């Protein structure tokens, strides 16, 4: 055998090993870059999902006084516009107006006949007006004189209600009463964050903004799918390049590269969104004066968290059972995979 023949025969495997390492390092760089893109894309998607949940929150819909006013006022205005108080319809409305006027006279009689308030202890007599000191005989005489004229007053009320300006006055009154009643029931809602989200996306209303955000979420999902495939494919190819034909024992350099692949994948899993929790009311429907009223997709609660955020949330509750669950999540998601990596590195040849 000629001198140097053995060295020439062993050189190709060394070149192949170097080429495999170089190729795997390029794949590692591609996987690391795609991991960063995936984490960034998931973070942007979480912002969009949080914004969508915010503008869909029940506080801005079902529990918002303005939304109730917006839905109820057109229905009542339509009923008022449809009210045709003409001669043909007055016959059916006249009994109702008469009964209302009779009840009004009964209330006046009751208040005018009420005894004056008791004298305060140690003070001067309570001031009593005409309503408080009215003589029962005089009150009965006044009410008795007015009651026979109720049919005339009813015709006057019906004639006034038929005027266009009277209808508009009724509409304004109903709107003011509804607005005040709704705000008393639900309270005022801080719309600062809601308005800022609409302004950020250039939306005129919530429905348009929801559509825009949903489209952007779908675009983000498509990009994220490409990114994490760009992580998994290079990692799988890199593993195959380093493991196929490597023999029973890997070299130190190959083991280090494989461990770096594992670190990249672990970081991608730990820093990415782990879960999304959303509770919502799909639809609430009712009918008012024959017109349906509905509220749909009302979000009650939304949270999007990574592994570390889930751990921090569980531990921050201060409850022993939640603390144990948080520690288990951290142990099996972060601690054990990290220890496995260190243990593998400690046995490098």
What pLDDT is attached to residue 216? Answer: 93
What pLDDT is attached to residue 7? Answer: 44
What pLDDT is attached to residue 219? Answer: 92
When mean pLDDT is compared over 33-47, 109-123, 270-284, the highest value belongs to 33-47
pLDDT in tens, 249-267: 667 788 888 888 888 888 8
Average pLDDT over all residues of the chain:
75
Give the closest residue to 188 by CA, choosing from 52, 284, 67, 300: 67
Could you give the count of Cα atoms lying within 13 Å of 290 in the half-sphere of its Cβ?
3
Give the closest residue to 20 by CA, choosing from 312, 221, 251: 251
State the CB neighbour count (10 A cutoff) for residue 65. 19
What residue has token string 């006046």? 108
Give yes or no for residue 220 having a pLDDT over 80. yes
Q: How confident is the model at residue 218 (pLDDT cuts 50, 70, 90)?
A: very high
**Residues paired with residue 293 on neighbouring β-strands, in sequence order:** 286
Answer with the residue of higher pLDDT: 106 or 235: 235
What is the Cα Rg of the chain in Å? 39
- pTM score: 0.64
What are residue 304's phi and psi, to 5 degrees? -135, 120
What pLDDT is attached to residue 215? Answer: 92
What residue has token string 């001669």? 87
Q: Is 72 exposed, middle or buried (0-12, 13-18, 19+ CB in 10 A)?
A: buried
Coil, helix or strand at residue 109? helix
pLDDT in tens, 282-329: 887 777 767 788 888 888 888 888 888 888 888 888 788 888 888 888
């Amino acid at each position: 055998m000629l001198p140097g023949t053995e060295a020439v025969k062993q050189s190709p495997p060394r070149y192949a090993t170097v080429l495999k390492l170089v190729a795997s390092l390029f794949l590692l760089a591609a996987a690391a870059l795609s991991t960063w893109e995936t984490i960034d894309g998931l973070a942007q998607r979480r912002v969009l999902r949080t914004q969508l949940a915010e503008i869909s929150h029940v506080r801005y819909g079902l529990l918002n006084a303005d939304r109730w006013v917006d839905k109820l006022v057109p229905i009542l205005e339509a009923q008022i516009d449809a009210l045709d108080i003409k001669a043909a319809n007055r016959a059916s409305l006249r009994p109702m107006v008469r009964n209302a006027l009779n009840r009004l006279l009964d209330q006046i009689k009751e208040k005018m006949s009420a005894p004056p308030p008791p004298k305060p202890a140690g003070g001067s007599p309570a001031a009593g007006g005409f309503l408080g000191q009215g003589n029962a005989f005089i009150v009965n005489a006044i009410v008795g004189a007015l009651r026979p004229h109720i049919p005339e007053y009813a015709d006057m009320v019906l004639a006034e209600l038929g005027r266009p300006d009277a209808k508009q006055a009724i509409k304004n009154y109903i709107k003011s009463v509804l607005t005040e009643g709704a705000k008393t029931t639900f309270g005022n809602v801080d719309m600062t964050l809601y308005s800022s989200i609409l302004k950020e996306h250039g939306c005129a209303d919530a429905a348009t903004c929801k559509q825009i955000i949903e489209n952007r979420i779908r675009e983000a999902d498509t990009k994220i799918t490409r990114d994490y495939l760009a992580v998994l494919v290079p990692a799988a190819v890199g593993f195959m390049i380093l493991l196929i034909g490597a023999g029973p024992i890997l070299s130190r350099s190959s083991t280090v590269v494989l461990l770096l692949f594992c670190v990249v994948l672990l970081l991608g899993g730990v820093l990415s969104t782990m879960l999304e929790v959303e509770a919502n009311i799909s639809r609430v429907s009712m009918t008012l004066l024959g017109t349906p009223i509905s509220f749909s997709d009302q979000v009650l609660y939304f949270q999007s968290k990574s592994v570390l955020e889930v751990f921090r949330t569980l531990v921050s509750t201060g409850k022993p059972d939640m603390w144990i669950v948080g520690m288990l999540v951290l142990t099996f998601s972060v601690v054990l995979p990290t220890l496995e990596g260190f243990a593998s590195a400690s046995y490098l040849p």
